[in-house]
Every structure is written in C-alpha cells, then in structure tokens.
Amino acid sequence: PPPPPRAARSKLGPDSRFALGCAGLAATFWFGVLAVGVYGAFLSPDDAPEPPPPIPADLAGTWTGKITEKGEKEGGWKAKFVLRKGEQGGKATYRDGKCTGSFVTVSYREGILTLDTTFPADKPDCDGGDVRLSLRDDGRLDAVYPPAGERKVEAAGKLRRK
C-alpha cells in the first residue's frame, strides 16, 4: 500500500511564526489593558453612590406638629418625627398614629434635611414621599412636603421639639 499523505508544511519560516506569536500576545495584552481601563472608568469610587447623610445634632429629637395643604385654612393632619443624631433613618407617624412608617435621610444641604418617608402597603391613606425639614430661628422646625404622587399641592407645617 502507498504511504499516507503527509501534512502540508507551513510556508512560514520560524522568524515569521515568532513574529505572529508576539503580535498575538501584544494584541491580547493591549485588549486586557483597555478592558480594565473601561471597567475602572465606569466603576470608579467617584461614581459610587454617597451614603445617606446622618441626622445633624441640632435637628435631633422628637418633633410634633400640624401639617396643612397649601391654601387650606382648617384641617390638616398631625405629624411626628423621631430624629436621632448620627442616624440615617427613623420613625414617622401621621394622622394621630393611624400612619406609622419609617424614613431615610436623602440629603442635607444648606440647613435643609430631606427625608424619604414610606408607609406599609396596607395603609393606602398614608402618603409617603419627600419631606424637607429646616430649623427656624425660633427653635421650631419647618416641614415642607413638595407636590408628589397623589399629593397635588404642597403641604407644610411647623413642628415643636418635645
């Protein structure tokens, strides 16, 4: 029987194969450098979300008062916030205790502490959302609820520390 056919030999010499191998390694290296750079640019510590701010000492305490919607002369609801110095959340109570929920701090800028309040889903009459708190010169706390969700108008009130 005739011998089996021989495998075709490469027409590239040893120097050409070495050069191709080096080019492949270099391309792989630079692809890796580029991938790490792109990955690092999107996940740099500068882009990480800031933790919620702590409650400042001058706003700490239990605050209560009446909140009314803009333009209302009567009505409104009672609000109570328990703010503990250094914490990033707490307890909010509305409507004479019918609405008991929680809040987390969102921001603290120029003396205004913004809270995001949430209430249990089984309490549809309890309206959560942002409330902005700021200390007044007379020692009371302004509470302002911007229009959001089902609340179509601004609501506000002055709270006293217990």
Map out the domains of the chain as residue ranges: 14-47, 57-161
Q: What architecture is domain 57-161? A: Beta Barrel (2.40)
Cα–Cα distance for residue pair 54/86, rounded to 1 Å = 5
Q: How confident is the model at residue 19 (pLDDT cuts 50, 70, 90)?
A: confident
Task: Report H helices in the chain.
Answer: 14-42
Ramachandran quadrant class, 31 (left: phi over 0; alpha: psi -120 to 50; beta: rest): alpha
pLDDT above 70: residue 47: no
User: Could you tell me the two tokens for 16?
Assistant: 């050409």
pTM to 2 decimals? 0.68
What local confidence, expressed as pLDDT, does residue 130 receive? 94
- pLDDT, one tens digit per residue, over 114-142 is 999 999 999 888 888 999 999 999 999 99
Residues 62-102 have pLDDT tens digits of 999 999 988 887 888 999 999 999 999 999 999 888 999 99
Q: Choose the weakest-confidence range: 38-47, 70-79, 128-137, 150-159.
A: 38-47
Using CB atoms within 10 Å of the CB of residue 113, give its burial: 0 to 12 exposed, 13 to 18 middle, 19+ buried.
buried
